[in-house]
Every structure is written in C-alpha cells, then in structure tokens.
Amino acid sequence: SAVISQKPSRDICQRGTSLTIQCQVDSQVTMMFWYRQQPGQSLTLIATANQGSEATYESGFVIDKFPISRPNLTFSTLTVSNMSPEDSSIYLCSVESGQPNTEAFFGQGTRLTVV
Amino acid sequence: AQKITQTQPGMFVQEKEAVTLDCTYDTSDQSYGLFWYKQPSSGEMIFLIYQGSYDEQNATEGRYSLNFQKARKSANLVISASQLGDSAMYFCAMREVGMDSSYKLIFGSGTRLLVRP
C-alpha cells in the first residue's frame, strides 16, 4: 500500500490567481495521476504525471491551464492556473504500482473553491 | 471506448440489511480490472474491492462482495449488514490499458447510499 499526503486539503481562491497542489508519496511509485471531481460529479482524469518528462494530458485538459511537475518518483504538483469559478472542484492525486491486479491509492483530495 | 454505467443515483437501505449497488461496463478488451471505491463526505477515495476479468471466483472483502457476471458485463457491489458509516458515495471503476501502454481508471457516475437507522 501507499500513503499519500496531499496539500492543501482545501482552499478558497480569487479568480485569476493560481494554486499549486502538492502530492507526496511515502514510497517510490511507477504511476501518478491527477483527477478532477466537479461538484456532484464523478472523477475525471486530468493527466498522467511522468517522472522526468512532460505530463500526458487527457482530452479537454491542457498544460497551460494545468501544469504538472514530477521531479522524482515520490512527488508531484498540479497547478490550477488563471482560475475561474468553473475550476471549483475536488482535485485528487492517485498512484498505482503498474501491476494489473492492484488498486489505485488516492490522496485526501484538495477541495478548491474559486470566488 | 470503455464505459462504466451506474444507473442508481441514490439508494436507501435499512441498517443491518444488505444492499446491492449496480454497475455495468462496456469493453472489447479480454483483460481488464474492475474496482469499487467509497467516497465519504470528507472527499477521500477508499478502495473496497477488486475483480479481475479472469478471476473465476467472485471477490469478497469482509462485508463487501462483488457479484461478477462476465457475460452480462456487470460487477455489482453487495454490502452485507449495512452500518450507518456506510453512508457515502460509491464509485465503480474499470482499469483501461491503452495501446500505448497508458494506464488509467474510468469511473462511473456513482451511487449515493444512505443507511437509515
């Protein structure tokens, strides 16, 4: 199993500003992911955070809006840039071992409100 | 493209009774994995149970069991002896492996379960 520390747990931000969310894992992991959960909705994958290279973004998400860093196998950041109220969501970091029959572990989530 | 369908937006169950949460999936892959997660109001995602497509036995984890019917492409979660703490959102998910070896989970829309005392 993996223990994930995600910070901040919640924040209220002004529109037009940016917020960086941190995800720290207690062990080296192959795969790290960032998800968005809009109010009352399911989880949608934003991107796969690749160690040492650019993140792989899903359709509808772009690097300029959601820049991601992954400097090593235990840490990643997601920045929500130039925020608008539509960005109000829960953002979740997730890690997987890459083995097909193992579960994904999630951080506690960052509850973001943009005013 | 793979798809996960949860047709029950909300469910009620009486404390100590069993409840079944429905999940159907659509995939052309032969090898896949199915997961159930619980999300309390705090927002964290708690892993409950996993079923592999080649597993012949239905998965069980304590009070949770997965009714896997491969031909019908369904993977329903059964919670036995419901407790008040089971009140939460429940998500069914399927692991997708892309042609480029990319890896991701596809989530259903979720079912909100409320356990009545």
Q: B110 vs A103: CB contact, 8 Å cut-off?
A: no
Q: Give CA–CA dist B46/B92, Å, rounded.
A: 12
A42 touching B (Cβ < 8 Å): yes
Q: Give CA–CA dist B38/B13, Å, rounded.
A: 16
Residue B1 has pLDDT above 70, yes or no: no
Kindly report, residue by residue over B51-95, the tens digit of the pLDDT.
998 888 999 999 999 999 999 999 999 999 999 999 999 999 998
> How do beta strands A10-13 and A110-114 pair?
parallel
Nearest CB among A92, A101, A102 relative to B45 is that of A92
The two three-digit tokens of residue B84, written as one number? 């008040």
Query: What was the pLDDT predicted at A94?
Result: 95
Kindly report, residue by residue over A44-93, the tens digit of the pLDDT.
999 999 888 889 999 999 999 999 999 999 999 999 999 999 999 999 99
- The mean pLDDT of chain A is 93
Nearest CB among B42, B50, B104 relative to A101 is that of B50
Q: pLDDT confidence of B39, banded at 50, 70, 90? A: very high
Residue B46 has pLDDT above 80, yes or no: yes
Q: Give CA–CA dist A99/A111, Å, rounded.
A: 29
Cα dist. B107→A77, A106, B91 in Å?
23, 14, 7
